[in-house]
């Protein structure tokens, strides 16, 4: 059995949101190609004598896209964290043959392994998905030892399957 206990921080939720929206490798390549084309088009628009309304709209779209990821997502995620008091209480996770047990001062729930759809991991946290948009988050900093974080990854491979890249 692996046990994890701690209190989530706003930064954990921001990192979880970025991991959640992280694209698969194929989409990263396609996104890079689209970004290169956008930058090329922006350069052409800025160096052209014919700078029109479409060019302005194009540049505003790029700026809005960047601001969404660098300002809006972190702001909104921290706001939701402040609103939901349950997210700010100490949680205890236990992983065993029955599934995942989550408890806090208000109650306990056990989720069987079969209820989990997929999982994602980076160097700072693990997301366990109950659906495409609902997940349990486990920050590495809440583990007593980093070896437990790695052991959990091995357990998840056996119980849920291969992680989503």
CATH of the domain at 106: 2.30.29.30
Same domain, 121 and 69: no
Residue 71 lies in a domain: yes
How does residue 53 score in pLDDT terms, banded at 50, 70 and 90? low
Same domain, 18 and 77: yes
> Does residue 33 carry a pLDDT above 70?
yes
Q: Please tell me the total count of domains within the chain.
A: 2
Same domain, 71 and 109: no
Neighbours of 77 (CB within 10 A): 18
- Average pLDDT of span 5-22: 93
- Average pLDDT of span 16-35: 82
Q: Do the strands 118-121 and 107-111 form a parallel or antiparallel pair, or are they unpaired? A: unpaired
Last residue of a domain, one of 62, 83, 104: 83
Residue 165 lies in a domain: no
CA distances from 10 to 23, 69, 87, 127, 155 (A): 22, 16, 9, 16, 27
Query: How high is the pLDDT of residue 164?
Result: 84
Same domain, 29 and 48: yes
Which domain, by its residues, includes 95?
Answer: 2-8+90-159
For residue range 90-129, list pLDDT tens digits in order.
Answer: 999 999 989 999 999 999 999 999 999 999 999 999 999 9
Q: Which helix (H) or strand (E) holds 109?
A: strand 107-111
CA distances from 28 to 52, 70, 120 (A): 31, 18, 16
Query: How high is the pLDDT of residue 48?
Result: 73
Last residue of a domain, one of 83, 104, 131: 83
Residue 79 lies in a domain: yes
Same domain, 77 and 25: yes
CA distances from 29 to 22, 33, 47, 70 (A): 12, 6, 27, 21
Same domain, 33 and 62: yes
Same domain, 122 and 61: no
Per-position DSSP letters for 42-105, written without gaps between them: HHHHHHSS---HHHHHHHHHHHHHHHIIIIIHHHHHHHHHHH-GGGGS-EEEEEETTEEEEEET
Q: What is the rounded CA–CA span in Å between residue 83 and residue 88?
A: 10
Query: How high is the pLDDT of residue 140?
Result: 94
φ and ψ of 79, to 5 deg: -65, -45
Residue 164 lies in a domain: no
Nearest-5° angle of CA 150, CA 113, CA 17? 60
Last residue of a domain, one of 27, 51, 83: 83
Same domain, 53 and 106: no
């Amino acid at each position: 059995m692996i046990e994890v206990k701690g209190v989530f921080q706003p930064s954990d939720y921001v990192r979880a949101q970025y991991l959640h929206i992280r694209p698969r490798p194929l989409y990263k390549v396609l996104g890079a190609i689209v970004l290169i084309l956008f930058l090329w088009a922006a350069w052409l628009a800025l160096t052209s004598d014919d700078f029109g309304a479409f060019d302005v709209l194009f540049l505003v779209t790029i700026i809005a896209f960047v601001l969404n990821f660098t300002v809006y997502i972190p702001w909104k995620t921290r706001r939701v964290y402040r609103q939901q008091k349950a997210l700010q209480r100490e949680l205890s996770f236990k992983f065993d043959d029955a599934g995942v047990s989550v408890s806090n001062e208000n109650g306990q729930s056990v989720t069987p392994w079969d209820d989990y759809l997929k999982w994602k991991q980076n160097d700072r946290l693990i997301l366990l998905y109950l659906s495409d948009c609902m997940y349990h988050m486990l920050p590495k900093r809440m583990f007593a030892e980093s070896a437990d974080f790695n052991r959990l990854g091995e357990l998840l491979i056996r119980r849920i399957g291969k992680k989503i890249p």
